[in-house]
Chain A
C-alpha cells in the first residue's frame, strides 16, 4: 500500500513538473521574442547640428547609435535590400598606377604585403604583350568560401556582397583554400598600427580593426556603399578603370569620370568576361578585355 502511494505521488509530481516545464518552455521564447521585436524596423535619417548623419527609429524617435556594435553587426549581416552590386574593370585603361591598392590598404588597415586588391601583370601568350589586371574578391553568387566555413564567419548578404566577421572567424583558413581566385589573406601577425585601432568598435562592413589570426578580404567597401559613395579603390583610380553599380538598376558609374552607363550595354559592347567561368562560381566582377596596342 505504502509503496503504491509513493508511486502515485511521484507520478503526480512528475506530471506537475512537466506542466511547469512546458509553460516555461513556451513563455520564455515568447518573452524573448517580444523583447527583441520591440524596436521597429522603420528608420529615418536625420542630420545632427554638427553635420553628422544618424538614423533614428521612426516610431519612438529614439536615436540609433551608428557606432553601436550590435547595430553594426546587424546591418553588416543584413546588407542593403533590393540591390545587387557589381563591378566592371576595364583592363584596357589600367596603367598600373596602384592607387587603388594604396587606398584599399590604408582604409582596411592592411600591411603593404597584404592585399584585398592586387594589380597583377599579365601576358598575352600569343602576342607576348603585357597588361595589368586588378584582382579582388569576385563576390561570387555561388561562393565556395562560404560553403566551407565551419562557423558561419564568412557569409553572403542579400545585396550579393560576401563579408567576413572576424569576431566569429576561428582562423582555420578553409576559405583561403576554397577560393579559386586567391582573393583572401590571413593576418599572421599583429595588424598594422594595431595600437591605434584597438579602441575602435569593430565594423564588419569595413573589417576594421583587423585581428591577428583571422582571415580578411575585399568587402566591396560595403561601408562606403551604404553612404551612397563608390568604393575606395574606384574613387582613387586616376585612369577610369573601375565601374561600380547596382545590377538591378542596370547602371554602373565610373570611379574617375563619374560617368554613369548602362551595365548590359557596357558588357555586351566590350565582350566582357568573368574569371574562371567554368567553375560555376558566378562572379559579380566583370572584366573588359585589354585591347591590342592599348
Chain B
C-alpha cells in the first residue's frame, strides 16, 4: 500500500515538474519587448560580468553544458532552447524568475538585464537583433530630485520633466546602498504632483553623520533616470573595532593588565630567586 502510494506520489511529482518544464508562458507584450540599444561588445562584456556573478553557479560555463543538476534543468545559455526564444522572453524570465530561478527584478536594472541578453546572444552567430519601431513614440525625459522629510520619516522623490513640469506615473524604485548589494526600500508610482514617497526605517544604522547612500531608479516607457545621493536620514552611529579593548586573544600590546602584571611578577621573581642563589653561592666560596 505504502509502496504504491510512493510510486504514485513520485509520478505525480514528475508529471508536475515536466509540465512546469515545458510551459513558461510569457505575456505577449513582454515577449515582443526589444532593447532600444544595439548590442555591442561593451554590453556583452558587462553582461558577462553579471553572468559570472549571478548566473554561472546554476547555468555553468556557456557552451560547456556544465549546468547544475536540478529539476527543471537550468540549461546552457548557448543552447537552442535559449537562443530560440525572443529577446523579450529572455528579458522577462530573468526579471521575473520561477521556482529555483531567482527573481532578478529587484537586484538588476532593466538595462543590466538587457546586457545579460546581449551576452546570451553573443553565443549565437546567426542572431540578428530586431530593432523596436520607435516611430511616433516619444521617449520621456525627466530628472529626479531627492529630499528627506524628517517628520514622517519618508524619502521624497520628485520627477521633473524636460518642460520643468512634474511628471506623473513614473515607476520609481529606491534603494539603500550596501557593501555587497542594494537594499530595496520600495517601489511606487509618482502621483499627479510628480512625487513618490518611500518609508525609511529610522532604526537603520547610518554613518557617523547619520547619512545613508540612496539610489533611486525611475522608468516611464522607454525613458529612464537614475540618481545617487548621500543624505542624512537616520541617527548617527559609531562603530567599534572588533579588536578594541584588552582581551586574552589580543596581541601583547593589548593584553589584559592582570595578565601582564602576573607575567612580569612571575618572571622577575624567578630571576630574583636565581640571582639570590647565585650570589649566595659566591659568598659561600669566599668564606671557605
Given contacts A152-B251, A259-B107, contact A238 B242 (CB under 8 A): no
Of chain B, the residue at the smallest CB distance from A249 is: B178
B104 at the interface (CB under 8 A from A): yes
Shortest CB–CB separation between residue A139 and chain B, in angstroms?
9
Whole-angstrom CA separation of A259 from B54 in the bound complex? 11
- Please pick, from B103, B108, B183, the residue contacting A251 in the complex, using a CB distance under 8 A: B183
Is the Cβ of A260 less than 8 Å from the Cβ of B53? no
Is the Cβ of B102 less than 8 Å from the Cβ of A158? no
B241 at the interface (CB under 8 A from A): yes
- Please pick, from A81, A147, A250, A253, the residue contacting B248 in the complex, using a CB distance under 8 A: A147
Shortest CB–CB separation between residue A150 and chain B, in angstroms?
11
Q: Mark B253-270, 1 if CB is under 8 A from A, else 0.
A: 000000000000000000
Is the Cβ of A260 less than 8 Å from the Cβ of B57? no
A229 at the interface (CB under 8 A from B): yes
Shortest CB–CB separation between residue A147 and chain B, in angstroms?
4
Stretch touching chain B among A118-126, A207-215, A239-247: A239-247
A262 at the interface (CB under 8 A from B): yes
Is the Cβ of A99 less than 8 Å from the Cβ of B249? no
Is the Cβ of A251 less than 8 Å from the Cβ of B249? no
Of chain B, the residue at the smallest CB distance from A246 is: B179
B180 at the interface (CB under 8 A from A): yes
Instruction: Categorize the interface residue count of chain A.
Output: 35 or more
Q: Mark B91-113, 1 if CB is under 8 A from A, else 0.
A: 00000000010111011100000
Is the Cβ of A258 less than 8 Å from the Cβ of B107? yes
Q: Interface of chain B, helix or strand or loop or mixed?
A: loop
Given contacts A256-B57, A259-B106, contact A84 B179 (CB under 8 A): no
Shortest CB–CB separation between residue A184 and chain B, in angstroms?
15
Is the Cβ of B247 less than 8 Å from the Cβ of A99? no
For A158, the chain B residues whose CB sits under 8 A away are: 241-244
For A245, the chain B residues whose CB sits under 8 A away are: 178-181
Given contacts A238-B68, A256-B102, contact A250 B205 (CB under 8 A): yes
Whole-angstrom CA separation of A249 from B74 in the bound complex? 34
Whole-angstrom CA separation of A147 from B239 in the bound complex? 24
Is the Cβ of B180 less than 8 Å from the Cβ of A82? no
B14 at the interface (CB under 8 A from A): no
For B68, the chain A residues whose CB sits under 8 A away are: 97, 99, 238
- Please pick, from B205, B242, B244, the residue contacting A159 in the complex, using a CB distance under 8 A: B242
Whole-angstrom CA separation of A75 from B152 in the bound complex? 43
Is the Cβ of B204 less than 8 Å from the Cβ of A248? no
For A250, the chain B residues whose CB sits under 8 A away are: 204-205
B70 at the interface (CB under 8 A from A): yes
Of chain B, the residue at the smallest CB distance from A149 is: B249
Of chain B, the residue at the smallest CB distance from A139 is: B242
A219 at the interface (CB under 8 A from B): no
- For chain A, residues 201 to 255, give those with C-beta under 8 angstroms from any C-beta of chain B: 225, 228-230, 235-240, 244-246, 248-255
Whole-angstrom CA separation of A223 from B239 in the bound complex? 22
For B102, the chain A residues whose CB sits under 8 A away are: 240, 256-259
For B70, the chain A residues whose CB sits under 8 A away are: 238
- For chain B, residues 188 to 247, give those with C-beta under 8 angstroms from any C-beta of chain A: 201, 204-205, 237, 239, 241-244, 247
9 chain-A/chain-B pairs, Cβ below 8 angstroms: A229-B53, A238-B58, A248-B205, A248-B239, A251-B176, A256-B57, A257-B103, A259-B102, A262-B183
Known contacts A83-B179, A83-B239, A240-B102; 17 additional CB pairs below 8 A are: A99-B68, A141-B242, A144-B249, A157-B243, A228-B179, A228-B180, A230-B180, A238-B58, A238-B70, A245-B179, A246-B178, A248-B237, A249-B178, A251-B178, A256-B58, A258-B104, A260-B183
